Amino acid sequence: TLDATDIVLLANATSSAITVSLPATSGTNGRTYVVKKTDASSNFVTIDGNGTETIDGDLTHILSFKDESITIVSDNSNWYII
């Protein structure tokens, strides 16, 4: 689970798929995270919103390809891709 000290996560899914859990958005207005998949394996990096919180309307967002990344920001209720 990402926390307030995290900003960038370089995710290497060579050995297995990875799930990155986002913290609850309450009290996080404006918090921004960048997650990047650094390997060329077929394993996914899944970014998972907390509970029913969404990422641009979806419960999860998947990174499938080497060097694919996502930058997300909280509005205190959900996460948005920027």
pTM score above 0.85? yes
Q: What is the pLDDT along the chain (82 residues), one digit of tens a residue?
A: 999 999 999 999 999 999 999 999 999 999 999 999 999 999 999 999 999 999 999 999 999 999 999 999 999 999 999 9
What dihedral do alpha carbons 60, 75, 69, 17 form, nearest 10°? -30
Contact 1, 23 (CB under 8 A): yes
**What is the distance between the alpha carbons of residues 42 and 33, in angstroms, rounded to a whole number?**
23
pLDDT of res. 65? 98
pLDDT of res. 29? 95
